[in-house]
Every structure is written in C-alpha cells, then in structure tokens.
C-alpha cells in the first residue's frame, strides 16, 4: 500500500517536474530552427499540449501505462525501445559488481570486527574508506589508464571488440573481458559501505552475553564466529544489499560513461548532454520504480528474517 502511494507520488512528481520547467517542449524540440508557426501549433495539438493541465495529466498516465514515452531527441527512436535495449548490459555489470562487493565487503567487515584494533582491522577499515571516498568514475579513469592504456591488458571501453562477429561462447567471453575493468571499479567503489556496516553490526553483537555463553561451553573461536555471531550481525547487511539492489539500474551512471558501457547509465549520461528530455523522463521513472520495488522486497525479507519486526 505504501509502495503504491509512493509510485503515485513519483508519477505526479515526474509529470510536473518536466511540465513546469519545460514551458515550451515543442519550441525546444526545434531549438532555434526556423519552423512555421502553423507546424508548431499542429504539433502542440498532436502532443495534447493545447489541453488543460488535468487532461494532460490523464494523457500522460495513459501513455506511461502503455510505456509510450515518445521519441528520443537524439536518435528519433521510441524511448522505450532504446531503454529496453540498454537494460541487459547494466543488469549484468551492476548485478555482478553488487554481488561481489557485498560478498567481499561482508567478509572484510567480519575479519575487521573479529580482529578489531589489529593491523588487519586498521588496513581493511582505512583501505575501504579510501575507496569509498573517491568519485567512482575517477577510480574508473585511473584503472582504465593503468590497465588499458599503459599496460594494454584490457580494452578501453565498449562491450564487444569492434568489428568482431563472434557468436555464442566466444562472444560471451569477449563481453566478460570487456566487463572486467568496469566491474572491478564498481566492486571497489561499493565495498566500503558493506565493510563498515558489517563491522559495526558485528561489534554490536560481540558485546552480547550469549557469545560469552557459547565460548564458556568451550566452542572453538571459528564456530562461535560463524554460527553464533555472524548470522545475527548480518541483518543490517541484508537490508543494505536489498536497498542497494534498488539502485542496480541507476548505480553506474558515471562509470558506464567512462567505459562507454552501453547500458542505462551511459544512456543517462548521453541524454544529459542533449538534453534529451523524453529519454531523461523515462529513465528517471524507471530508476524510481526499481527503487520502490526493491524497497518492498527488502521490507518483506526483513520481516521474514527477523520475526521481531512483524510485531511493530
């Protein structure tokens, strides 16, 4: 119910955001070119811009429900087709990076907390903080120069080698090869959050009495950690993972631009340069919808994992 209301809010917000700021969409469509007034008026009628704002809103809802977001200013193709074509690349890149960073980051956080105030803790904590504090695309630029330009181990961008017409497994391998650097960039950039959250959550749990009991029973340190402490400490990490998955579509805008990775992020970066307003509007709606859906999922998993939440 709450998510539905939020969705309605996003729809209304999206409508007014582009309507209010963009006073004359038809005029901006031709930007300065000499077009007869009659043509402009006809176009206004065709787009329903002569209607009162209420009718316009209904029109907008109908078009949105049919996934009709108009034509891209840049490619003159339907916006939705452009977006659908870009989704798989982003899902693959951000999906893999999210999973890797959640796994590695959590393990790092567990080690840091369990060995707190040792050199291991200090190097893990400060290392991840450094990656966390740099712009992700800058990290991408550095990795690109080192590994693609200077060393030449990896391609400088794109998703396939230009001019190659491989199919099947060879093509997939080529794409994985192209994905390596952007995925490494995003994984390093996302790591820090998981490490810090896991570390502080585990430190909280480590003060609990039941761990002392487990130790007093004579259980080995590893057993206490893996079977008693970690499962309870992972709850906030699960929530964080679920919430971050909401940003799976919109999370790599600048990094995709650096590596010319043909996903939604690069589509956004390209649309900004225009600005390609129909494209931006649709992307914004899609990104918001993704967050709403994953927030819902995270709420559901949370109350399933921690029955205490249900009572509240």
Partner 1 sequence: MTTLAMQRRRATAGRVWKQFRGSKGGMIGLGVLLLFVVMALAAPLLADARELSPVFARAQGNPQWAPPSEFAPLGTDYIRRSVWAQFVWGSRVSLFVGLAATVLTILIGSVVGIIAGFVGGRPDAALMRLTEWFLVIPFLPLAIVLASVLGRNVWNIIFVIGVTSWPSTARLIRAQVLTVKQRLFVDRARSLGASGSHIVNHHILPNVMGLILANATLAVPISILTETTLAFLGLGDPSAASWGKTLEEAFVNGALSRNAWWYFVPAGLGILAVVLAFTLIGRTLEEIANPRLSRSR
Contacts with partner 1 by CB under 8 A lie at: 2, 5-6, 9-10, 13, 17-18, 21-22, 116-117, 129-130, 132-135, 137-138, 141-142, 144-145, 149-150, 156, 199-200, 203, 207, 246-247, 250, 253-254, 257-258, 268-269, 272-273, 275, 277, 280-281, 283-284, 287-288, 290-292, 295
CA neighbor of 181 nearest in space, from 248, 121, 260, 120: 260
Nearer to partner 1, 19 or 171 (CB): 19
Nearer to partner 1, 101 or 157 (CB): 157
- The interaxial angle of helices 119-133 and 168-206, nearest 10 deg, is 120
Q: Is 222 exposed, middle or buried (0-12, 13-18, 19+ CB in 10 A)?
A: exposed
Nearer to partner 1, 199 or 228 (CB): 199
| Smallest gap from residue 164 Cβ to partner 1 (A) | 21
| Smallest gap from residue 171 Cβ to partner 1 (A) | 25
Q: Is 19 exposed, middle or buried (0-12, 13-18, 19+ CB in 10 A)?
A: middle
Nearer to partner 1, 99 or 145 (CB): 145
| Smallest gap from residue 36 Cβ to partner 1 (A) | 27
> Rounded CA gap, 30 and 28, in Å?
5
Nearer to partner 1, 71 or 156 (CB): 156
| Smallest gap from residue 166 Cβ to partner 1 (A) | 25
Count of beta carbons in the 10 Å neighbourhood of residue 25: 16
- The interaxial angle of helices 79-114 and 235-246, nearest 10 deg, is 160
| Smallest gap from residue 151 Cβ to partner 1 (A) | 11
- For 78, the 3-state DSSP assignment is strand
Tokens of 26: 């038809």
Nearer to partner 1, 171 or 269 (CB): 269
> Rounded CA gap, 65 and 55, in Å?
15
| Smallest gap from residue 305 Cβ to partner 1 (A) | 21
| Smallest gap from residue 146 Cβ to partner 1 (A) | 9
Nearer to partner 1, 171 or 243 (CB): 243
Instruction: Please enumerate in sequence order all residues whose Cβ is within 8 A of that of 123, keeping only pairs 6 or more positions apart, or say none.
Output: none
């Amino acid at each position: 119910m709450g998510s539905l209301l939020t969705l309605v809010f996003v729809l209304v917000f999206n409508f007014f955001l582009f309507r209010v700021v963009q006073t004359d969409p038809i005029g901006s469509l031709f930007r300065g070119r000499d077009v007869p007034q009659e043509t402009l008026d006809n176009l206004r009628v065709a787009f329903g811009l002569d209607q009162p704002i209420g009718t316009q809103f209904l029109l907008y809802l109908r078009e949105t429900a049919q996934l009709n977001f108009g034509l891209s200013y840049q490619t003159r193709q339907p916006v939705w087709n452009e977006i659908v074509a870009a989704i798989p690349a982003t899902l693959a890149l951000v999906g893999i990076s999210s999973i890797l960073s959640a796994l590695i980051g959590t393990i790092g956080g567990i080690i840091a907390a369990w060995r707190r105030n040792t050199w291991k803790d200090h190097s893990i904590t400060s290392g991840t903080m450094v990656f966390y504090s740099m712009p992700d695309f800058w990290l991408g630029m550095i990795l690109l120069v080192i590994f693609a330009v200077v060393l030449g181990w990896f391609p400088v961008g794109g998703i396939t080698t230009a001019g190659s017409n491989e199919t099947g497994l060879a093509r997939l391998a080529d794409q994985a090869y192209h994905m390596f650097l952007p995925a490494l960039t995003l994984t390093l950039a996302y790591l820090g959050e998981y490490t810090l959250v896991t570390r502080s959550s585990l430190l909280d749990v480590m003060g609990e009495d039941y761990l002392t009991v487990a130790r007093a029973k004579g259980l080995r340190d590893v057993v206490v950690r893996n079977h008693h402490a970690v499962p309870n400490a992972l709850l906030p990490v699960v929530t964080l993972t679920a919430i971050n998955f909401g940003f799976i579509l919109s999370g790599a805008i600048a990094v995709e631009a650096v590596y010319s990775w043909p996903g939604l992020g690069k589509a956004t970066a390209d649309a900004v340069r225009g600005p390609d307003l129909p494209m931006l509007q649709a992307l914004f709606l899609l990104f918001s919808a993704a967050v709403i859906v994953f927030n819902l999922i995270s709420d559901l998993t949370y109350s399933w994992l921690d029955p205490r939440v249900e009572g509240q």
